[in-house]
Structure 1
Amino acid sequence: MNYPIVIYPCAEGGFVAEIPALCGCLAQGETLEETLEELMIVKDLWLETAQTHNQKLPSLEAEIAKIKMLSAA
């Protein structure tokens, strides 16, 4: 699943990226490319852990609807 990603620049340099739908799924890197590569690793581990523990995954459609609602405000 391709959940929406939020990227923040860090004051000290580099970036932080997160997938808000997946609580705690975030990564940091010096470049955008490095940050996104790290985030994909973290996302895969997050999803693997959720599957192992039979956790229900957040609905992609619900997450997109949240973003649309926030951007319309």
Structure 2
Amino acid sequence: MEFTVLIHSAEEGGFWVEVPTLPGCFSRGETFQEAMENIREAIGLHLEVLCEGGSELPREDDLIIGRVRIDDMTG
């Protein structure tokens, strides 16, 4: 399975990663590589919990990623 992940630079350094189709599934790492390894583990654990609970696994085709433009708010 493949999941779309959103990777953010953390203010304190490193990265944090979230999985839009798995609400509550996120992780972090000091390096990009560590963050990616950690999110793979987090996804696996999240899927285990869903399966054990009898929940249906999420589908990527239920995910829509878009962009929103707003006017400049600085004046």
Specify which structure has the higher proportion of helix. 1
In structure 2, C-alpha distance between the alignment counterparts of 1:50 and 1:5, rounded to whole Å? 18
What's the CA shift for 1:60? 1.4
In structure 1, C-alpha distance between the alignment counterparts of 2:28 and 2:59, rounded to whole Å? 25
Which residue is equivalent to 1:57? Answer: 57
Q: Which has the larger radius of gyration?
A: 2
Identical pairs, percent: 32
1:15-26 to structure 2, matched below 5 A, reads 15-26=15-26
TM-score by length of 1: 0.86
Tell me which stretches of 4 or more aligned residues in structure 1 moved more than 3 Å. Answer: none
What's the CA shift for 1:33? 0.2
TM-score by length of 2: 0.84
What's the CA shift for 1:71? 4.2
How many matched pairs? 69
Query: What SS does structure 1 have at the residue aligned with 2:3?
Result: coil
Query: What SS does structure 2 have at the residue aligned with 1:50?
Result: helix
In structure 1, C-alpha distance between the alignment counterparts of 2:11 and 2:68, rounded to whole Å? 28
What's the CA shift for 1:72? 8.4
Given residue 10 of structure 2, which amino acid in structure 1 is its aligned partner?
C
Which residue is equivalent to 2:45? Answer: 45
